[in-house]
Amino acid sequence: MHRITASEPVELSADAVWAVIGDFSGIRKWATLVEAETTEETPEGKVRTLTMPGGRSVSELMTDDGPYHYTYTLDRPDMEAYFSTVSVRPTENGNCAIELKVEFLPRDPAQLGEATENMTKFCRGNIKAMKRALGIA
């Protein structure tokens, strides 16, 4: 499994940041490209279904959650495995850091470089969107 981690300090409390970015069922608070979302409890766990531009639908299964973090997975045709974690880490000064982590395994090992570049852009873009939603971008 390969891992990409992106983190940025934020001059807000962890509670304030988590109120905006920590709701698995409220991704539209910060992800403006998501046109619609629904969440349902299934036998496998909580699933959020996102409607993206062009009507494309993405279903994400929450695999873990706790104070200031959640992890989800989704089926991707280009990946053998894919997990993404959204988290907030409180810091000693009362502020926090937003941290995004993606763990992935491309189906085609030759695509690792391109996949790594895409996952890095994904993390950086999401942190930028989160900060914009927090009014600090």
> With 70 as the cut, is the pLDDT of residue 120 above it?
yes
Question: Would you state the CATH architecture of domain 2-23+62-133?
Answer: 2-Layer Sandwich (3.30)
- Sorted by where each begins, the domain ranges of the chain are 2-23+62-133
Question: Angle at Cα 130 formed by Cα 126 and Cα 132, nearest 5°?
Answer: 115
CA dist., res. 41 & res. 122, Å (int): 27
Instruction: Please report, in angstroms and rounded to a whole number, the separation of the first and last CA atoms in the chain.
Output: 32
Average pLDDT over the chain, rounded to an integer: 96
Q: What percent of the chain has pLDDT over 70?
A: 99
Burial class of residue 11 in the structure, from the number of CB atoms within 10 Å of its CB (0-12 exposed, 13-18 middle, 19+ buried): exposed
Model pLDDT, residue 137: 67
Model pLDDT, residue 83: 98
What's the predicted TM-score (pTM) here?
0.94
Q: What is the pLDDT of residues 33-83, one digit of tens each?
A: 999 999 999 999 999 999 999 999 999 999 999 999 999 999 999 999 999
